[in-house]
Amino acid sequence: MRKILDLISEEMKNAFAAAGYDGELGRVTLSNRPDLCEYQCNGAMAGAKKYHKAPLAIAEEVAAQLKESSVFAEASVAPPGFLNLKVKASFVRDYLRQMRTADKFGLEAPERVKKIIVDYGGANVAKPLHVGHLRPAIIGESVKRICSYAGHDVIGDIHMGDWGLQMGLVITELKKRQPELVYFDENYTGEYPAEAPFTIAELEEIYPTASAKSKDDADYKAEAMEATHRLQNGDRGFRALWNHIMRVSVEDLKKNYDSLDVHFELWKGESDVQDLIPGMVEQLKKGGYAYESDGALVVDVKEETDTKEVPPCMILKSDGASLYNTTDLATIMDRMEKYHPDKMIYVTDKRQDLYFEQIFRCARKTGLVGEETELLHIGNGTMNDKDRGKPFKTREGGVMRLEHLIGEINEEMLRKIRENAAEKGYEIDAGEAAATAKIVGLAAVKYGDLSNQAAKDYVFDIDRFTSFEGDTGPYILYTIVRIKSILHKYAEQGGSPADAVIQNAGDDSEKSLMLELSRFNAVMEAAYEEAAPHRICAFIYDIANAFNHFYHETKILTEEDRERQAGWIALLKLTVDVLETCIDLLGFSAPERM
């Protein structure tokens, strides 16, 4: 379906042309003065110079062309030459009727389906998930769903950190604790046990212990580095141990991401491309891109137009070891070969902005990625503590584990849900309350995050995020639940929401809701083009406000005019369908009641 603003603009362009002016002047936008009109056109002012004529006169001539318009109910002229517009109720009604029957509410399929890889999550194996991993997971999941809804072929890859020093640290600590394990016996040639010599709980304790020790003890650190080196060079016992760490850790990560409703198509990691590195390095050297500098192998990536210094991209350290960079470049090479993506989107903390600039430049310059493939980094800001305004920490100042943060939110949500039930005077059993708290808690966290532009820092405010009022996830869910309850009651009275037909708006509150809904396809397009979930948040907040306003003005279930009532029900059905589609794109869902 065409966007409603395009249809409206087209009508206006025809009017400009019919009055003898350049049709392009007829571009219509949403009104800056919703108290006066719904849409506006400033074309008469733009045309004044070109036609040496007073803008007011031009506007009046154009308005005269619109007397019989099937789109505009009102086109009034205001000094110095604004065209203030209101559309006909029948025009919006017809648009919404079409939306209801169209696939995806009229969002058009793309001209060409793109292959898109979204690299997000970025969890590190053997380390517990902490709050720093929350934003990339939430934003990435939403961006992925938006791309897919836009009609593209999308793959999400977690790109785990599974090959670094943390592995050597865990191995070293295990060796201290259980030196008798066969993995440490260099003469052992038999099969290694199938069972891991640790549980996830132990693993979670081992890494922080080892990491703390390595900071105070240089020998310990050296040992961990040596262990990392041996692992990376194929030591059999270490490799077997690494497999155990991977299995135990990934199982736990899956559980954690599942509870966030975050799902990856690919569970690849840094380790998966290690075999590709020697070939890639050879290629970079042969192409004359990589050269030695202080013993290390680097590729220059600075450009003349740079205003800040962009250091060379390091490919190999002086001891020949590969780095985070090397793995990312090899992963790009691998993805190009396997998937030929049209686009790769990375979601990480914005402190990696410069890093990705280097990687992207290096990948392009060396031909790993051709011009036809787009590379995009979405650098997210930090989630800050309410009291200190600094990145989130535990009360003791440590890294906040994700599970604990989610636990805190759910607890607060449960309290509010109980409170609300008591206020409304209905019974809610403990099981239902807890399940609902989980669903609403996730919405609180995700909406609180996604309603900000990704690059901005924001304050994590449990109280505000979990509130049932204001620009929050629970407010959106509350609206959905309210609409569902009306539709449910209507059905109980024998009506059928699916068969109800949208009618002309009877008052301004109804029309406002209809106009908000009509923006759906435009909003989705923008959200996709800009990879910007916050666009969807702003849209559903507007819809929720418009709906609640309408709801307060209208006695729906007691209306005696059955056709009018059915018209409202049809509008409610469209509203709830649009809202539920949108929250799904944001990565959360609504409970049956709350």
Q: Interface residues with ligand ARG (CB under 6 A)?
A: 119, 122, 124, 159, 161, 328, 346, 348
> Which amino acid does the sequence have at 183?
Y
Q: Among residues 135 and 175, whose Cβ is nearest to ligand ARG?
A: 135
d(CA 277, CA 267): 19
Q: Strand 82-87 relative to strand 72-78: parallel, antiparallel, unpaired?
A: antiparallel
* Minimum distance, C-beta of residue 270 to ligand ARG, in the bound complex (Å): 8
Q: For residue 105, give both structure tokens.
A: 């509410």
The Cα angle at residue 541 between residues 259 and 566, in degrees rounded to 5 = 100
* Minimum distance, C-beta of residue 140 to ligand ARG, in the bound complex (Å): 10
Q: How many other CB atoms sit within 10 Å of the CB of residue 109? A: 11
Q: Among residues 140 and 237, whose Cβ is nearest to ligand ARG?
A: 140
Q: Among residues 28 and 125, whose Cβ is nearest to ligand ARG?
A: 125
* Minimum distance, C-beta of residue 123 to ligand ARG, in the bound complex (Å): 7
Taking CB atoms, the residue at the shortest distance from ligand ARG is: 122
The Cα angle at residue 291 between residues 290 and 293, in degrees rounded to 5 = 130
Q: Among residues 124 and 575, whose Cβ is nearest to ligand ARG?
A: 124
* Minimum distance, C-beta of residue 446 to ligand ARG, in the bound complex (Å): 20
* Minimum distance, C-beta of residue 323 to ligand ARG, in the bound complex (Å): 11
Q: Residues 273-308, buried b or exposed e (16+ Cβ, 10 A)?
A: bbebbeebbeebeeeebbeeeeebbbbbbeeeeeee
Query: What SS3 state is found at 564?
Result: helix
Q: Among residues 61 and 328, whose Cβ is nearest to ligand ARG?
A: 328
In contact, 144 and 154? CB cutoff 8 Å: yes
Give 348-353's long-range contacts (Cβ < 8 A, gap of 24+): 348/120, 348/122, 348/136, 348/377, 348/378, 348/379, 348/380, 349/132, 349/135, 349/136, 349/379, 349/380, 349/382, 350/379, 350/380, 350/381, 350/455, 351/379, 352/377, 352/379, 353/377, 353/379
* Minimum distance, C-beta of residue 187 to ligand ARG, in the bound complex (Å): 35
Q: Among residues 399 and 522, whose Cβ is nearest to ligand ARG?
A: 399
Q: Among residues 227 and 363, whose Cβ is nearest to ligand ARG?
A: 363
Q: Among residues 348 and 512, whose Cβ is nearest to ligand ARG?
A: 348
* Minimum distance, C-beta of residue 343 to ligand ARG, in the bound complex (Å): 15
Backbone φ, ψ for residue 399 (5° rounding): -70, 130
* Minimum distance, C-beta of residue 360 to ligand ARG, in the bound complex (Å): 11
d(CA 298, CA 313): 6
- The number of CA neighbours under 13 Å toward the Cβ of 549 is 15
